[in-house]
Structures are given as C-alpha cells and as structure tokens.
Amino acid sequence: MRGVLIVIKGLGRGGAEQLLASSAPYLDTERFRYRFAYLLPWKDSLVAELEAAGLPVDCLDGDGGLGWVGRLRGLVRREGVDLVHLHSPVAAAAARAALGRRARIVYTEHNVWSRYHPATYAANLATFPRNDHVFAVSDEVRASVRYPWPLRALPMPPVETLHHGLDQAAVAGWGGADGVRAELGIPPEAPVVGNVANFKAAKDHPTLLRAAARVREAMPEVRFLLIGQGPLEPASRRLAADLGLDGTVVFTGFRTDAHRLLAGLDVFTLSSTYEGLPIALIEAMALGRPAVVTRVGGVPEVLRDGVQGLLVPPRDPDALADGLLKLLGDPELRARMGAAARERAGHFDIRKAVRRMEQVYAELLA
C-alpha cells in the first residue's frame, strides 16, 4: 500500500480546509495509506474530525520558522510516504525544495497567481516545476498558472481544473432552520440576507455593510446575518455601528450549525474581491437559496447570472444593494432561482474530486 501525505498550512474552518474534511469519508484507505499534516498549531478545529475518520494527523508546528521542514522530511522518511499532496503556496514551496525527489508531489492551487505577495509568488514560481501534477480549483485559477516570459523554458507540470464540492450525502441530511429566527431575535416576517465568510480582507465586509445600509433604507425590517470570525471582525463591528446598523446586522461568530443558519436565509450574498471556488456559496445553493454575489474568481463557474442568482461587480455597494433589493422584492424570482441553485449545487460533488485525485495518485505511483 502506497503512502500519501496531505499537507496544508492550517486545519481551521476555512474553505480549503473544509474540502479536506469533506473528502475524508471517501478516501480509498484500502488502496492508499493516508496521513494529514499541518503547520499552525492554533488552527486545529478540523483535526478531531479527521482523526475520528481514522486518519492520522501530525502538527509540524510551523510557528517558529522553518523548523517544520525538517519535521516534514522526517515524517516522510519515517512513515514511508510515496506521494505528498500540498496545499498553501508558502508551505508548498518550502516542501518542494526540502523533499527533492523523496516523493512524488501533487499540488492544489487555490488562488490566481497575480494575487500573491511578490515573495510568495517568487517562491512558488521557483519551485513549481518540481510538481508532478497540479489541480486548480477553477478555470480562472488554471488560466493564471503561467510562467513569465523570461522563464517560459521552465518545464510546466500538467495543470487541470478540478472543481471540488460538497459531500452530497451529508447535504441530504441537513435539517431546516428550526428556531433560528427566535434564537437570533429576528421577527418572523423580516427578510433575511446572510453569508458565511471569515472576516478577512478578500471577503470585503465593508462593501457588504454599506450595501446593507442602502437595503435597510428601502426595507427597514431587513436583517443581515454575518456568520464567521476572523481578524477584521472588530473593524466590521465598528463600521456597522458607524452606519447605524445595530439591530439590522447580526454577527453570529463561528457556528458549528452554519447550515441551519443558511437555511433561515431568504438570500445568500458574498461581497468578495476574490474567490477560488466558494464552498459557502455552493452550500447555500444546495439549500435552495438564491444568491447575489460578486463576479470574481471562480464564482461565475458556480452561479450563472440571472439563473441561480445575480452577479455584481466587486467593491460596488450600490450594485450589491440593487441586486439584493431585486431578489428580496420578488418572491417568485427567489423561488425560481432557488430551485435552479439547488439543482446546480448537485454538480459539485466531493466524491468526483476524490476519485480524480486518486486516479492521478495511482498514475504517478505506478
């Protein structure tokens, strides 16, 4: 049995991390001997879930610099790892350089190259030819993977788009929104907009909050649920207060029952300036919720404008507000788009992604 080690920067509850957890029940553990490893010890909320699935998890403890690289080499040698699947560009660049030809290397690219910090871009670029195979989470990400002109002679590994998705079996078991409105103090008839997004710059909560202020002018009873946590949450709370949105915006913090809260929305929204493949959007669509989201990254590959929801430009509070008001004001349109959203979400199945990844592992290890 061949050993496969999956390495990621952290195992907190982000989109990329959740994909690993969602894939766990479908890994062929009779064909491959799987392990997971992560760098940041404080980002460990998914560790118990992976271990409960019988998958060993190692913390390489990358908090103190590059000492984790030696621990990675030791883990690969000690556990007889034949293939390493890397996520996170900084971790991937260091691992490629450290591992040499000790193992085959697969890499998942979650971001367009133009968004990387120059140092991250340079490190990723310098070591990229060491990859044996690359998965890109969207067509836009795949299109960005190209060497600058002076380096076009470098060998380019095979790069393919692989849309990840949901555990459709788990989706079938998701419950409804029982008691959500009462719990959060939302009137029964109030229209509710919301999202699931960590408070980071790329999610652009300020644009969403400014749009919320405009929507409230037209619909004073509206409520916005912001589900998540992150370093910019205090700044977002201050902006909401400055905009007079106390009582309109509900900051729920991290929730283990995010699906239940999503089921209580009338409309899902994202104001992101970039998304690779937005899993929260696919989850909302799976629950039959139409969406108003920014036309960035892989979003248009998930949602077709005017079919499952509306696409609007990023950093444009007025356009976002107009889209939200259009859906909130038209129950029939919401119902039609919600049904189309549910159907579309069924195409994003984590089992298909796992089967393709394991096909590549087998080819590389043959």
Tens digit of pLDDT for each residue in 321-342?
999 999 999 999 999 999 999 9
Report whether pLDDT(64) > 70: no
With cut-offs at 50, 70 and 90, classify the pLDDT of residue 172: confident
Spell out where 247-330 has E strands: 249-253, 267-270, 291-294, 309-312
Tell me the C-alpha distance between 112 and 8, whole Å: 18
Would you say 37 and 6 are in contact if contact means Cβ atoms under 8 Å apart?
A: yes
DSSP element (H, E) containing 140: helix 139-144
The side-by-side arrangement of strands in the sheet containing 104-109 is 57-59, 32-38, 2-8, 81-86, 104-109, 133-136, 159-161
From the options 3.40.50.300, 3.40.50.720, 3.40.50.2000, 1.10.10.10, give the CATH code of 175-345.
3.40.50.2000
Contacts of 136 (CB under 8 A, 6+ apart): 108, 109, 142, 145, 159, 160, 161, 162
Please state, in angstroms and as integers, the Cα–Cα distance from residue 75 to each residue in 84, 86, 357, following that order: 11, 14, 22
Ranges for all domains in the chain classified under CATH 3.40.50.2000: 2-165+349-365, 175-345
Within a 10 A sphere around the Cβ of 243, how many other Cβ atoms? 17
CATH number, domain 2-165+349-365 = 3.40.50.2000
With cut-offs at 50, 70 and 90, classify the pLDDT of residue 30: very high
With cut-offs at 50, 70 and 90, classify the pLDDT of residue 63: low
Report whether pLDDT(171) > 90: no
Would you say 81 and 1 are in contact if contact means Cβ atoms under 8 Å apart?
A: no
Tell me the C-alpha distance between 264 and 36, whole Å: 34
